[in-house]
Amino acid sequence: MKQQGRLSSIIAIVVLLVVAGPVAAEEGEGTNHESEKVVKAFMDTWTHGDVDETVGYLAEDVYYLNVPLEPIKGRAKAREFLAPFFSKDPLIVPFEVHTEIKQTLSDGGVVMQERVDHFMIAGKEWALPVVGIFEVKNGKIAVWKDYFDMGQLQPVVTLIDSLKKK
């Protein structure tokens, strides 16, 4: 079963690369290595940073698409959405997040990651496979798109909603 899930993830990445086609580097975009460093540093902040450190990697006018949710435009709105992930009050959003990067592909300012987000809530763990696509411009993440199966996340959302302060 795990092998089939991994194969599906690899196929999804290959399809995205074929559909996206070659990407021309725009002025202000860095090399593959520079863009990968920005995305890696951004992802690392999820386990050791705070929300301000994390959103500091986002461009002021970032476009964040967390499929299948509605798009978020701008750093301030992204901060508002992300803040509960960094809350210190366990009764607001009582969980921890750990991200496991499976593989990274890049072309100029475009970085694609296959990862698994692990959520620990009330002693239970959920794993959510995600494919993230980032566009890095001028050292900041200008576009961030995460693709995942909402059905796999629904038990997590339901539990969090039940534990939130009323």
Can you count the helices (H) and strands (E) in the chain? 5, 6
DSSP result, 20-40: H---PPPTT---HHHHHHHHH
Cα–Cα distance, 95 to 36 (Å, whole number): 27
Answer whether 38's CB lies under 8 Å from 57's CB: yes
Asked if 54 contacts 42 with a C-beta cutoff of 8 angstroms, the reply is yes
In contact, 62 and 144? CB cutoff 8 Å? yes
- Which amino acids are annotated catalytic? 117, 146
Residue 68: both structure tokens together: 């299948």
d(CA 151, CA 154): 5
Q: Is 131 helix (H, G, I), strand (E, B) or coil?
A: strand
